[in-house]
Amino acid sequence: MPEEKLRRQRTGRANSSPTLEDVAQKAGVSTATVSRCLNAPARVSEATRKQVLEAVNQLGYAPNFGARALAAKRTDTFGAIIPTMENAIFARGLQAFQEELEQNGITLLVSSSSYSPQLEEKQVHALIARGADALLLIGHDRTPKSYDLLESKGIPHVIAWSIAHDVPRTSIGFDNRNAMKTLALEVLKLGHRDLAVISAPREGNDRARERCQGVADALIQFGLRPTDLPIIETPYSISNGAEAFQTLVSSGNRPTAVLCGNDVLAAGAISRARELGLRVPDDISITGFDDIEIAQIVSPGLTTVHVPHRKMGIHAARLLIAMRNGEYGDAPAESLELQVTITWRGSLGPVPLRNA
Amino acid sequence: MPEEKLRRQRTGRANSSPTLEDVAQKAGVSTATVSRCLNAPARVSEATRKQVLEAVNQLGYAPNFGARALAAKRTDTFGAIIPTMENAIFARGLQAFQEELEQNGITLLVSSSSYSPQLEEKQVHALIARGADALLLIGHDRTPKSYDLLESKGIPHVIAWSIAHDVPRTSIGFDNRNAMKTLALEVLKLGHRDLAVISAPREGNDRARERCQGVADALIQFGLRPTDLPIIETPYSISNGAEAFQTLVSSGNRPTAVLCGNDVLAAGAISRARELGLRVPDDISITGFDDIEIAQIVSPGLTTVHVPHRKMGIHAARLLIAMRNGEYGDAPAESLELQVTITWRGSLGPVPLRNA
């Protein structure tokens, strides 16, 4: 009771709802920490979490109260712009994103930019014009005009599937470069020296670019020259992966391991290998990236980088809701880097003896 | 020149643009036929097409002129609500739909209803509230409230992936029941008598319901009792298909052919068959529906119903644009039924000898 009185005197608002600031002051932490406790509890130590929750309970704080003033302008509609719906790369993360929004009464509208920054710019414009409260975007590459639109209209936005340490934007994702380097190091440890990469076009796609850089990093660590690495660029599709694979194995210097920029390309490579009578991994190894469902149904199963799609989607939703609700005020929300792991299946094996 | 004069006198509008009606009158056909010529020329005889195009050229008619008055209210944003983004069932058709809209300066916003009519209703509401000019919807099952919203707001809408002959709504799709019956007849002709079905939940999903009915139709045609047909219902996913397959083959009366409601379930069934040491099709046949890319990468490839996804998407876009532009006036736009075919790959073979 005296606590409660004190708070009212301090804030000067009788009968008003407790704010995020009140909770922070009571718990003796920053408002950002309170917000993190509520939106991303896994990122906060248990001691801090307990402290904050105690303050929340004692004050009867209900998140979002402080943002009620904004409610009149709200549409409770969020937008997401993904590069493609044609394969399942973004589907699982987006589904989790939508489910989390849905639980908060928010409807999601999605656009697909076909990997075109120009088309994405139109879609950013359309979603803002149609009243989206906040936007989820994929990767950091986009037109300056798109960023201008977002900033001039003050639209909260989070960038997913990619983390950048050198930009001030809030992003939630993983280190694509380091993830691919880790996988490439495993390939090299198995004795492979003739590597090749099938990548999506790197222009306008920071994930594709960073994954190629990751392979180069691994080669350098093994004292090999990354400039010798053959890279075929082709849009993500099973049939494009198959074609690129055939081009690589038909060349004079056939690689012993083909690292694919994602599972879709790798699935195409594996099925074409079978058609060409090449045994995977006995004759040639193939790896993927993403660990989507097709990684399990190809034969052999794909060794690939496991991306925590659902976790990324859920955290992106919580972060974006908190930003929309004004819980970060004018401070930028912190980015969140997720860890990826390698899923081992049958498609990566030791270098064939004749090449060893 | 005298023609032109006559038209002006008749319409009483000097210097005005020629209308769809003018073209119809000049060509001696109905306005619906003119619209069809412009939007779905493949559906009109060559003689009629020539006649109409001649009238279009002579009058200098440019489609959409008549709808200019509506332009002020337009947002050039269309919506689509699909049941799921989690697998590629709708992705290819939707991509074609979007490309066709994009060529006409229209931005597409997509929602995913997770096969929930209640969630779809919220999304219909949100898309209308956010100013969508027109909507693409999948299948005929939805809440009466959703239909009420569309009609009371006068939002042009087209239903795809399903054709219904007994409702007045404009749809573009194929006969799911007849398509599955055709495939089931092929299975029966190969000597199979112990069939089983893995289907999506039929409640709220007319495509799933009709496909199951198609299998029953084929059984009846062969003098078999459809009530004996085991049907497992499970949401579309590779892992659910695998689980359902295992349940079926572990039962006392193991089927010799498993017909799956789509390729995603079938891909799961095929990969589980391999894990269980069952040879496809020597020990057991498996079929799919849709002919999406995974049908080709599983081993053996899936025998499945080929759905013309891109064609459906393109025609749906043209139809919906024409409706939005007021080219059908108050008359309902005609539905368009597409033909499907069977794609033969390795997963369907003769009944095993011991079962013949």
Q: E strands, chain A, where?
A: 77-82, 107-112, 134-138, 157-160, 171-173, 195-199, 231-233, 257-260, 285-287, 304-306, 336-337, 341-343
CB contact under 8 A, A88 and B92: no
Q: Do B293 and A238 touch (CB under 8 A)?
A: yes
- The predicted pLDDT at position B355 comes to 75
CA distance B320 to B316: 6
Q: Residue B137: is its pLDDT beyond 90? A: yes
Average pLDDT over residues A202-214: 95
Residues of B in Cβ contact (< 8 Å) with A103: none
Alpha carbon of A308: minimum distance to chain B alpha carbons (Å): 15
Distance CA A313, CA B39 (A): 40
Query: What pLDDT is stored for residue B42 in this prediction?
Result: 61
Q: Cβ contacts (< 8 Å) between A84 and chain B: which residues?
A: 95
Tell me the residues of B at the A interface, defined by beta carbons under 8 Å apart.
Answer: 75, 77, 79, 84-88, 91-92, 94-95, 98-99, 102, 107-112, 114, 119, 122-123, 126-127, 129-131, 237-239, 267-268, 270-271, 274, 293-294, 296-299
Give Cα A156 distance to the centre of its chain: 17
CB contacts, 8 Å: B310 with chain A? none
Q: Give Rg (Cα) of chain B.
A: 24
Task: Please name the residue of chain A whose CA is at the shortest distance from the CA of residue B237.
Answer: A293
Site from B107, B114, B237 to mutate, A interface, most A CB atoms within 10 angstroms? B107
- Do the domains B75-174+308-325 and B2-63 match in fold? no
Contact (CB, 8 A) for A20 and A327: yes
How much is the pLDDT for A16? 54
Does pLDDT of A70 surpass 50? no
Averaged pLDDT, A11-31: 69
Size of the A and B interface in Cβ pairs below 8 Å: 118
Report pLDDT for B7: 37
Q: Are A275 and A299 in contact (CB under 8 A)?
A: no
Neighbours of B19 (CB within 10 A): 19
Interface of A with B (CB under 8 A): 75, 77, 79, 84-88, 91-92, 94-95, 98-99, 102, 107-112, 114, 119, 122-123, 126-127, 129-131, 237-239, 267-268, 270-271, 274, 293-294, 296-299
The contacts of residue A149 (CB under 8 Å, 6+ apart) are A121, A124, A125, A128, A155
Chain A residue with Cα closest to B310: A86
pLDDT of residue B17: 61
In total, chain A counts a number of residues equal to 356
Q: Which residues of B touch A300 (CB under 8 A)?
A: none
pLDDT of residue A35 exceeding 80: no
Stretch B8-31: mean pLDDT, rounded? Answer: 65
Please answer yes or no on whether B271 and A77 come within 8 Å at the CB atom: no
Task: Give me the amino acid identity at B249.
Answer: V
DSSP B152-190: HTT--EEEES---TTS-S-EEE--HHHHHHHHHHHHHHT
Q: If you search the block for the tokens 């409770």, which residue do you land on?
A: A76
B107 alpha carbon, distance to own chain's centre: 21
* Nearest-angstrom CA–CA distance, B87 and B240: 13
Buried b (16+ CB within 10 A) or exposed e, B245-254: bbebbeeeee
Give the minimum alpha-carbon distance from B260 to chain A in angstroms, rounded to a whole number.
16
Q: Which of A94, A129, A267 sits opposite B85 (nearest CB)?
A: A94
DSSP of A87-130, one letter per residue?
Answer: STTTHHHHHHHHHHHHHTT-EEEEEE-TT-HHHHHHHHHHHHHT
Q: Are B134 and B108 in contact (CB under 8 A)?
A: no
Rounded mean pLDDT, A21-31: 85
Chain A: give the shortest CA distance to residue B87, in Å. 6
Q: Rounded to an integer, what distance in angstroms lies between the CA atom of residue B76 and that of residue B317? A: 13
3-class state of residue A196 by DSSP: strand
* Contacts with B108 from chain A: Cβ below 8 Å: 111-112
Cβ A322 vs Cβ A170: under 8 Å: no
What single DSSP character describes residue B343? Answer: E
CB contact under 8 A, B109 and A109: yes
In this predicted model, what pLDDT tens digit does every residue of A81-125 receive, in sequence order? 999 887 778 988 999 999 999 999 999 999 999 999 999 999 999
- The tokens 């997509």 sit on which residue? B110
pLDDT at A334: 87
Task: Inspect the interface and report whether the beta carbons of A293 and B239 lie closer than 8 Å.
Answer: yes
CATH number for the region A74-174+308-325 comes to 3.40.50.2300
Answer whether A178's CB lies under 8 Å from A213's CB: no
**Among the listed residues B76, B153, B138, B119, the one whose alpha carbon sits nearest the alpha carbon of residue B321:** B76
CA-based radius of gyration for chain A: 24
Q: Of A85, A142, A90, A89, which is closest to residue A116 (Cα–Cα)?
A: A142
pLDDT greater at residue B104 or residue B334: B104
pLDDT band per the 50, 70, 90 thresholds, residue B62: low
What's B75-174+308-325's CATH class?
Answer: alpha beta
Residues of B in contact with A98 (CB under 8 A): 112, 114
Q: List, for residues B193-204, the tens digit of each pLDDT value.
A: 999 999 999 998
| A127 → chain B, closest CA residue | B109
How many Å apart are CA A36 and CA A43, to the nearest integer? 7
* Per-residue pLDDT tens over the stretch B253-265: 899 999 999 999 9
Beta-strand (E) ranges in A276-352? Answer: 285-287, 304-306, 336-337, 341-343
- Superfamily of structural domain A2-63: lambda repressor-like DNA-binding domains (1.10.260.40)
- Write the pLDDT tens digit of every residue in B138-160: 999 999 999 999 999 899 999 99
- pLDDT of amino acid B3: 41
| Residue B61: per-residue pLDDT | 64
Is residue A229 within 8 Å of residue A255, measured between CB atoms? no
Phi/psi at A30 (5° precision): -80, 160
| Element containing residue A210 per DSSP (H, E) | helix A206-221
Contact present, A348 and A280 (Cβ < 8 Å): no
| pLDDT of A105 | 95
DSSP B36: H
Looking at chain A, which residue has its C-alpha nearest residue B269?
Answer: A297
Chain B: nearest CA to A85, how far in angstroms? 6
| Residue B322, C-beta contacts closer than 8 angstroms, at least 6 positions apart | B35, B38, B39, B328, B333
Distance between CA A243 and CA A235 in Å, rounded?
11
User: Residue B111 and residue A111: Cβ atoms within 8 Å?
Assistant: no
- Which residue's structure tokens are 């149904």? A297
pLDDT value for B143: 95
Q: Does residue B317 surpass a pLDDT of 90?
A: yes
Give the residue on A whose Cα is nearest the Cα of B297: A271
User: Residue A164 carries which side chain, given as an amino acid letter?
Assistant: A
Answer for the pair B160, B183: CB distance below 8 angstroms, yes or no.
no
Say which residue, B166 or B246, is predicted with more confidence: B246
Q: How far is B107 from chain A (nearest CA, A)?
A: 7
For chain B, the structural domain boundaries read: 2-63, 75-174+308-325, 176-306+342-355
Please give the pLDDT value at position B56: 74
**Domain topology for B176-306+342-355:** Rossmann fold (3.40.50)
- Amino acid of residue A287: T
Number of neighbouring beta carbons within 10 Å of residue B282: 11
Q: What is the pLDDT of residue A71?
A: 44
Q: How many CA atoms lie within 13 A of A24 on its CB side?
A: 14
Through-space distance between the first and last CA atoms of chain B, rounded to whole angstroms: 77
Give the number of C-alpha atoms closer than 13 A to the C-alpha of residue B100, restricted to the C-beta side: 21
Pairing relationship of beta strands A341-343 and A304-306 according to DSSP bridges: antiparallel
Selected residue of A81, A99, A107 to mutate for chain B interface (largest B Cβ count, 10 A):
A107
- Contacting residues of A for B129, CB less than 8 Å apart: 75, 77
